[in-house]
Structure formats: structure tokens, C-alpha cells
Amino acid sequence: MEGIETQAPSEKQLYADAVLIGSKNKDAVWYDKTLPGVPEDAREVLENYSHVPPNEVDAHVLAIRDKAWEIYPWPCVGKFKFIHLSLCKMPSYASMVEGLKKGARYLDIGFCLGQDVRKLIADGAPGDNIYGIELNGPFIDLGYDLFRDRETLKAQLMQGDALDASEDSVFAKLAGTVDYIHLGFIMHVFDLEQQQLLLENCLRALKPEAGALIVGDAVGDVEGVLSPANGFWHSEDTFKKLWKGISEKTGQRYDCRATLGRSFGVPGFERAQQLTFEVEILGHE
């Protein structure tokens, strides 16, 4: 993409184990054979929202993880990241919950098992205004099993492709009506051209007015590199350049807040860091 240098990882063995992504081989470095623990915020949702007895939480999560691994063995599945709540740690989370209570709309793209959706509802957001799309349809079904809300969840969770720009897409159906969009650890699986399409889809659904937000996390790298799986892992600088290009194309001004944080602690992936971002519409030029 114009303005962003795309370089391959500079170390020969950098991210070498990524060739195993997609394999159900449990020797992958991102497959935890035992549950390292359920975070307190996720445990609270499972106990108080899903009504899983406290002494059954660990076994319940482990059983769901093993089913998810057989559906698609993403690293986030092997490392139990689907019970690590990320949206609630965003600076704008509290204001998003309040906005939803007042009628705002929320769209979660690539929501995995829907953990952040359930946290929103547990915190008082009405499910009627919450939408989600997930490419792997069986993950949606498994999310109902994890949170035990198949008969009660009002959020509209649908199978869909984040890169679908057709008139039948979720983005077209929600065009110009969404206040908040969450991209939870999906951007890094796409190359730069696909990321551009993804963000154009997001902007299609988002209200074209000041205050609308796109928030999320992704795998990042201090240099901004092509990943072995042909995605692009942004640095703070390359992510901001991406949005600068979108601003020039759309005529919209954006406040792009992006920071690289903690390492993921996976052997062989030491350079990979969590990129956290909030992009807010400021208005037209």
C-alpha cells in the first residue's frame, strides 16, 4: 500500500512456527495442554451471567476450548484467549456502554465465541442494539454453549465475511447506523489491501459523524512486518499511516490512537506485541 513499507521479518527463524497455523497438531507452541487459569473478569461473567457453578468453570472452559480447537485451531484458541476480555479494557469502554444504554449500536467483527459481547450485556448494554459477524459459523454455536444463553441472548450474531463488500453484506444492511465497531484480534490475519477493504467496510457501516469509534487489538511488530501467513503486523507508525491514507481518500478526519504494549509470551514470537487502537471520527475536512 502506498506510503507503507512492507518488509519481511528480518530474522531467519522469526515466527518460524507460524507454518503450523491451521494444523490441529497439539505440539504447537500456542496450544496449552492445561488451563493456566480463568481471568477474574471472565470468571465473573461465566458465574454471574452464564450461571456456571464456580467449581465447574475451569472444566467447562477446557471442554469448550477442545471443541473449538477441532473447529479451527487458531493460536487464540490454543492459548485460551477467547476468555480474555479485551473490549472492557479500552479507554472508551465505559462511554460505549452508556451510549448503548441510550440507543447506540455496536458491531463486533470476528468475535470468535462472543466473549466481549457477553461482557457488554453483563455490564448493562441492551442486546437489541448489538450485532456481530464471525466467519466460522460453528464458533457462534459454541459461544452459546460457553455462555449458556442460546435461548436468552438478544444480540444478533451472524456468520459473515469481514471482507464482503456486496450489497447483501452486513455492512450494507447496517450502512450508516453503527456507533461503535470492535475489531478484536483479526486485522493481523489480513494483508494491507485486505485491511483497507476491511476498514472501508467498517466505515460503510459506521455513522459518518463525530464521535463514532472503531476500536480493537491486533498482533503488532515494532517495525511493521509481513507475517509468515501473509498478513501484515503493524507498528504504531504504519497503523497511523494506514489511517492517514484513508483520511485522504474519504475526506474524513480521524483521531488515531494506537500503542504497542505487552509481548504475547509465546516462544518464537518474542517480537510480536499487542497493538491496541481507538480510531474516532472527528468530522470532514
| DSSP class of 7 | B
- pLDDT for 41: 97
- Let me know if residue 40 belongs to a domain: no
Domain that residue 196 falls in? 86-284
pTM over 0.85: yes
**Which letter, b or e, does each residue of 104-137 get, where b requires 16 or more Cβ atoms within 10 Å of its Cβ?**
bbbbbbbbbbbbbbbbbbbbebbbebbbbbbbbe
- Beta-strand ranges (E) seen in the chain are 106-109, 130-134, 156-159, 180-184, 213-220, 225-226, 232-233, 252-263, 273-284
- pLDDT for 3: 67
Q: How far apart are CA 53 and CA 59, in angstroms?
A: 11
* Structural domains of the chain, count: 1
- Let me know if residue 200 belongs to a domain: yes
- Let me know if residue 38 belongs to a domain: no
- pLDDT for 167: 95
- Contact between 222 and 273 under an 8 Å Cβ cutoff? The reply is yes
Looking up residue 197, the CATH number of its domain turns out to be: 3.40.50.150
Digitized pLDDT (tens) for each residue of the chain, 285 residues in all? 656 766 555 433 344 455 566 778 888 878 899 999 999 999 999 999 999 999 999 999 999 999 999 998 888 899 898 999 999 999 999 999 999 999 999 999 999 999 999 999 999 999 999 999 999 999 999 999 999 999 999 999 999 999 999 999 999 999 999 999 999 999 999 999 999 999 999 999 999 999 999 999 999 998 889 887 789 999 999 999 999 999 999 999 999 999 998 776 666 666 789 999 999 999 876
- Let me know if residue 112 belongs to a domain: yes
- Let me know if residue 204 belongs to a domain: yes
Angstrom distances, CA of residue 191 to CA of 115, 195, 196, 200, 242: 26, 6, 9, 14, 12
- Let me know if residue 7 belongs to a domain: no
- Let me know if residue 67 belongs to a domain: no
- pLDDT for 74: 83
- Let me know if residue 45 belongs to a domain: no
